[in-house]
Amino acid sequence: MGKYLIKDFEALSGIKAHTIRIWEQRYGILKPERTSTNIRRYNDDELKLLLNISTLNRNGYKISKVAQMKRSEIEEKVRDITATNFDFPNQITALTAAMVDMNEMEFERVLNVNIVQLGFESTVENIVFPFLQQIGVMWQTGSVNAAQEHFISNLIRQKLIVNIDKMKERYSDFTAKSLLFLPEDEFHEISLLYFDYQLRKHHHHTMYLGQNVPLKDITAVNEIFRPQYVFTIFTQRPTEKTIANYVAALSKIFPKTPVYVTGFRALYTRKVKWPSNFHLLHNSGEIRLLLKQELDFSLAPAQKN
């Protein structure tokens, strides 16, 4: 069971700490424990309740009315809202509540309803990715445990793989090829899977190596597959020197091949000298722009002229 400070509640719910304190005192909605130094400590059940209350409050319910509702009534009204009002914050809050509760059925329900109403790509980019960023904040503060993080990541991963598998592959000798992989000690592959989805959608031949791939294996694959484009991500916390050394080694394997890089560590590293054929992608929208405007991925470079 998680333990949260009031600042965690503020970050996760969007409700100011001062407002949370007033709600506690005036309506008795939350009943936190107190440490020996009188600091509020909340549990998973109270986080889920506050997330649901924030959804109702954001959708016009007065807190004085919500305070009179039974827990079951609050949950029912939240389900009704998330099934009919596709405002992104509502859906992100619903996913967060399902994660805290480790409720697979509810998590799947929220995802599936959004995919039907908004489409798969809009759901991933506007709901799933912001949700994962929020989980990252929870992870950094220690307010989400490893089991919850793995539970949610695997559900999202499965959803991406299912949608990738639905695609009909159309390759020819002239189809451009992309290689996708995570460096050694990198394990967060959801963004890389989404890159794979986008590339395949544009009838591109991809080789997806997944997580934690040694450089020697990349060298071997390059000799066989000969990709025209390479995609990789840095999300863990290697030192800038480690990244710089890795980039230098990777540039020897791909001295001219365009290499597209993203991830927190890549984007916010200042000391890495990126080779001219390495390109940073700052968000999921940039890969779509890349596919649509800058590169014709359906043909190998030699066939574009």
Average pLDDT over residues 89-114: 91
**1 within a domain of the structure (yes/no):** no
Residue 301 sits at φ, ψ, to 5 deg, of -50, -40
**122 within a domain of the structure (yes/no):** yes
**169 within a domain of the structure (yes/no):** no
Report the domain count for the chain. 2
* Whether 191 contacts 227, CB under 8 Å: no
pLDDT digits (tens, 9 = 90+) for 194-252: 999 998 888 889 999 999 999 999 999 999 999 999 999 998 767 888 889 999 999 99
d(CA 294, CA 286): 10
**Host domain of residue 244:** 177-303
Q: Looking at the structure, do residues 82 and 29 belong to the same domain, yes or no?
A: yes
pLDDT digits (tens, 9 = 90+) for 233-246: 998 767 888 889 99
Q: Looking at the structure, do residues 85 and 206 belong to the same domain, yes or no?
A: no
pLDDT digits (tens, 9 = 90+) for 46-81: 888 998 999 999 899 999 999 999 989 999 999 888
**133 within a domain of the structure (yes/no):** yes
Give the type of residue at 118. L
62 burial type by CB count under 10 A (0-12 exposed, 13-18 middle, 19+ buried) = exposed
Q: Looking at the structure, do residues 153 and 68 belong to the same domain, yes or no?
A: yes
Q: What percentage of the chain exceeds 70 in pLDDT?
A: 93
3-state secondary structure of 298: coil
Tokens 């099934």: give the residue. 83
pLDDT score, position 207: 96
Q: Looking at the structure, do residues 72 and 198 belong to the same domain, yes or no?
A: no
d(CA 23, CA 29): 6
pLDDT band at 305 (very low <50, low <70, confident <90, very high): very low
* Whether 224 contacts 245, CB under 8 Å: no
Residue that terminates a domain, selected from 164, 197, 220: 164
d(CA 168, CA 171): 10
- The DSSP output letter for 253 is H
* Whether 180 contacts 192, CB under 8 Å: yes
**19 within a domain of the structure (yes/no):** yes
Residue that terminates a domain, selected from 164, 186, 213: 164
* Whether 291 contacts 297, CB under 8 Å: yes
d(CA 293, CA 193): 21
| Of 297 and 141, the one with more pLDDT | 141
Tokens 């040694």: give the residue. 214
E-only strand ranges, the chain: 33-34, 40-41, 177-183, 205-213, 229-233, 259-262, 278-280
Q: Are strands 205-213 and 177-183 parallel, antiparallel or unpaired?
A: parallel
Q: Looking at the structure, do residues 143 and 254 belong to the same domain, yes or no?
A: no
CATH number, domain containing residue 182 = 3.40.50.280
- pTM here is 0.81
The region that residue 203 occupies, defined by phi over 0 for left and psi between -120 and 50 for alpha, beta otherwise, is left
Q: Looking at the structure, do residues 184 and 106 belong to the same domain, yes or no?
A: no
Q: Looking at the structure, do residues 245 and 121 belong to the same domain, yes or no?
A: no
d(CA 15, CA 24): 13
Residue that terminates a domain, selected from 164, 191, 222: 164
Q: Looking at the structure, do residues 212 and 121 belong to the same domain, yes or no?
A: no
**172 within a domain of the structure (yes/no):** no
Q: Looking at the structure, do residues 222 and 249 belong to the same domain, yes or no?
A: yes
Q: Looking at the structure, do residues 159 and 182 belong to the same domain, yes or no?
A: no
Q: Looking at the structure, do residues 149 and 183 belong to the same domain, yes or no?
A: no
**171 within a domain of the structure (yes/no):** no
With b for 16 or more beta-carbon neighbours within 10 A and e for fewer, the 142-170 pattern comes to ebbeeebbebbbebbeebbeebbeeeeee
Q: Looking at the structure, do residues 11 and 154 belong to the same domain, yes or no?
A: yes
**92 within a domain of the structure (yes/no):** yes
Determine the distance from the C-alpha atom of residue 224 to the mean position of all C-alpha atoms in its chain, rounded to a whole number.
32
